[in-house]
Structures are given as structure tokens and as C-alpha cells.
Amino acid sequence: MGMLLAALNWMQVEAYLQHDDRIVVITGACEQHATLSLLADIQVPLAIAEITCEREGVLIAPPLPFGVSPYFTAYPGTLSLSPETFATLIREVLENLRRQGFRRILVSNGHGGNTGILGPLISELNTAWPEVHIVLFEWWRHPAVNAVAEAAGLTQYHANWSENFASLTRVAPVPEGYKSPVTLLPGTSAAVSRSLLGDGSFGGAYQASDAVMERFFTAAVEAMTTALHAW
């Protein structure tokens, strides 16, 4: 049985719930990633989940492709939700899953702009729904993933090497070399953000070797596996 809800009908999901109550909900964003795909924050966590969940036998809900990215809306293609709308969307999706019998829900978030909303919301729902255990997982923050970057002497920034996967997010030629890091202060407007960032990358190396990226991705898969086993 495929792990994506898109590959199943309702009767197959009902049968799954007879023996398992786990599901992965992927959140991300549709936002500029310099020369990389606008959906990088969905494509990477989905690829990680597809490998992990096929192996572990866990269902994956359809990814939620819009997140909170107001600082990037001066870049065409960025589609941002308000924090209130995003929180309502996630709350209602999780409520549906709870009512259907899912009890262990891993929210795999691929976008840093969502973290400040998801953390408090998940904490609130875990308190309100004692029969449900919701976990927030962010692959790029996991110590094992960070260790790969550190061993390679690389720093993770938005839209740099750390999101540049040739088979997933690369949709156009990617610059070589290094960009001096750029820091955006909280509350920076979209217009100022674009003027400061230029191509959209926050800096660092634009590319890493295939060997580093393979180790990076593998570490993310193992990190997600660990998170699923923690239940």
C-alpha cells in the first residue's frame, strides 16, 4: 500500500487505522529560493518523508504548500499566508485527523517562517487533546543533519547549498562560489528584503558536492526515522 493519501481511497485509510494511528503532515512554503524551486520547502521534506514512511509504513497527508513568508512577497511567485490563517489551517487539518482516529501526528515543517506559529500551536493542542501526541520535526535543525554540514565546513542559510538538491529543487543553473551572508532583521519589509538580498539567497556557498548532499539527505532520513520511532 502506498503511503501517500493521494494513492489511497477512504476504505484503505480506514483499514490502516485498524492497525496504526500515525501520520505525517508536511508544512512548508511557496516562496523565493534564489535560483532554486519556489517549492523547495515542500519538495525536500516530502522526499525525506516518502523514503522514511515507505520504509516505516506510515501515512503521509497531502503537503500544505503555503506558509508565512511576508518578507519575500516582493519576489514574484511567493505566496504568503497571514500567521492567523496559517494557524487556523493547521488547527483544522489536525482536528480532522484527530476525529478520524489518528493519534500520533508528526508535523514535518520545511519552512523556518512557520516555526514560531507551529511550536505554540502544537503545544496547545497536545494539552487540549491528551489522547493525541503531535510532534514538530524540522529536518534541517536536527543535530545529525547539522553535523554533516559542520564536518563539510559549510553553513546552512536560506536558498544556499543546503537546499540545493540536484534532483529535487534545482530548476535552473545555480551560481558557483560563495555569497557574503546577509542578515534580515525581524519586521523587515518585503521591498527592503529584496533590495538587501538581491537574488534571494541569504549567503554562503551556493553548491556542495554530490557526496556531501547525499550524506546530508541520508542524515535527514535517519533523523525522521528516529522521530517516528520515538513514539
Q: What is the rounded average pLDDT for all residues in the chain?
A: 97
Q: How much is the pLDDT for 96?
A: 98
Query: What is the CATH number assigned to the segment(s) 5-229?
Result: 3.40.50.10310
Segment 93-102 mean pLDDT: 98
* Distance (Å, whole) CA 211 – CA 188: 36
Whole-number Cα distances in Å, 38 to 29, 43, 61, 223: 8, 9, 20, 25
pLDDT tops 70 at residue 194: yes
pLDDT at residue 2 greater than cutoff 70: no
| pLDDT (average), residues 175-195 | 96
pLDDT tens for each residue of 21-38 = 999 999 999 999 999 999
Q: Is the pLDDT of residue 138 over 60?
A: yes
How far is the C-alpha of 72 from the C-alpha of 116, rounded, in Å? 17
Please give the pLDDT value at position 231: 81
Over range 106-116, report the average pLDDT: 98
Q: What percent of the chain has pLDDT over 70?
A: 99
Question: What ranges do the domains of the chain cover?
Answer: 5-229
